Structure 1
Amino acid sequence: MRRPVRTLLLPAVLTVLAIASQFLPPIALARGSVPAWVPGLGSPAVTAAAYREMALALGTIAVLAGAVALGYREARHRAVGRTYLRYVGVVYAAGATALLLTVAGVLVTTGSAGSSPFLTLLTTATLLVAVPGVLTISALAGVTIASVREGGRRTPSARDLLPFALAAGVVTGVGYALDSVARVAMVASDGVGVPAWLPQFGTIGTTATTYLQAGQLAGDLALLGGGIGLGVLAVRRTGMTALSRRFVAVTATGALGGLLAVWLPVTWYLVTENAGPGAPTVPSIAATLPNAVVSTAVVATLATVAGVGVARFDADESDGGGSADRDDRSVDAVTETPISERSIRDH
């Protein structure tokens, strides 16, 4: 009984940690105040924003590493490969439930549930993708890494993998661009908030938040969906029989290049259009890059690794005719109960 509880509880704990890592730094530094002993990076507001970005990056790295370790550990203890869809469902259900309970608690305690139902729904959908969705993909990447076969595998050459590096760059660049559209639009606006010709959603603040959430949702979906599709395509097009370090390195390099290709012009535009006393400094701009790398390039790479697992597990299922071995039966016994649990989510 301990294994089913652990399989369900650990993703929920990681979800809570992910929520804390995303929301506590902004709350702690919301008023632009930082300890006196912390090195300054410009004005107090700019310094606070820079350290908030660094804290977000460190928190996200810790949570993603925990999710990968969770999937790796699960695959090492039992044969998750042939039942990966069930495992993915359990992980997402646990994380989504923890997220939704958290969101419900916040709405009840703050009394903001009825302020903007559409924005509340959009924010919840964004969080369901950004937190339990990303954690689930990361756990599946861990399963894929643990399921690597040691012998007789075919590793494509770097030349064969070059198109996939370029594709990873496109996926990452598109994801970051979609996430940045709302910020660029607000800076480009002549007034406050987004341009007047765009649809408005009540107050200026509600409208801006709506576009920010919609951009993040679109960006996250592009990263996760594009990454998984890329991994599946790589296996089917190259005949790759298992995950290789070369493939991960090439994909990560392409993802990083695609991010930089979009991050540099977007950052330059945001900085040049925000000239003034509170304008960002070079150190504060550099501090935003780690968070951008983690939330886009790293996520896209993990999604691609998970896609390789999807293709390989499906191939194994086809080759095995859907038969289950003893380990598979133990997984069924472990995961059927958690699967029947209902789930939900947050951001």
Structure 2
Amino acid sequence: MNYQDTLEYLYRLRLFGTKLGLENIEHLAVALGNPQNRLKFIHVAGTNGKGSVCAYLNSIYKKSGYKVGMFTSPHLVRFGERIQVNGKPIGDEHLIKLVATVRNTLPELPDQISPTFFEFLTGMALEYFADERCDIVIWETGMGGRLDATNIVTPECSIITNVSLDHQAWLGQTIEEITHEKAGIIKPHKPVITAATQSKVLEQIKKKSKECNAPLLQISDYSMPDNLVPGLIGSHQERNAMTAIKAVENLAIDFPVSAIDLFEGVKHTKLPGRFQKLQWRNREVFLDVAHNLAGYDALAANCHSTFENNPCDLIFASLDDKPWGEGIELLLPYCKSVHCVPA
């Protein structure tokens, strides 16, 4: 298969829909030789902030000289962005070979096992990072946590950035139900770090941590050093950066990082689509992937500080199942025009 054929094959796997549960990925991992057992992970869950925390961790460990794998979703431009080593997306030729490798294991699976799109990608990522002999892997959940395919791993540290309403059809209609799913990544005796502040969320996370005898650290107990400015824009990015910093500090025995490398890693973190500033036809353009109420709140705060005295033109796209109406309302005070376009 060529690159386009490979992408078409992967996207056809979406016909299997979304299936929460670990049975498929466990069988697929066995067929691949359980590559996850040769890797060290930091597992990151949460409604918002996952991508930013992953980016900070990736930047810090890369700056420190480690070989860092990172699995995130979705991609913005190229499919290979989902699977990266040291910030470099997997190349087209590697992607073709990797899909073939995982595809060749499918006949070994029981008849009732048909990996979904995301489960297949998870298997690909595990195989690639093991082949690359990554020192540490930054491992982002797809949706939820407890029954997410990424939860096949036992991480060195679990992170729950925050919890708000999103994906209710799959994760539950209440904050408590959604938190229960995300807290499912907490593993026995492994440290847990959370930036969540809501009492209902913290109650669930504390309960799960206690059940697992897992040390819990709350980011609300800490503040950013005065001389450290995160590389990503927005006041909420201080919270994301501190989450990454505390994870690094908790793993310092096995993965030591100097203070200089930590500061430089945080300072120079980059992530497309998070209030990303671009230049287009002599105009400043800000690109943001906000798609739920918590994300729109953060975007509105950035717009307040950036466009309060100089309103912008808003170009807005959204899927039907997202709270796009509320999102536009939050952004309207900072806009002189709004243009809705197909997603």
How would you bin the TM-score normalised by the shorter chain?
A: under 0.3
Would you tell me which structure has more strand in proportion to its own residues? 2
Structure showing greater Rg: 1
Task: Choose between structure 1 and 2: higher helix proportion.
Answer: 1
TM-score, with structure 1 as normaliser: 0.24
Q: Which has the higher contact order (CA 8 A, sep 6+)?
A: 1
Under a length normalisation based on structure 2, what TM-score does the superposition of the two structures give?
0.24
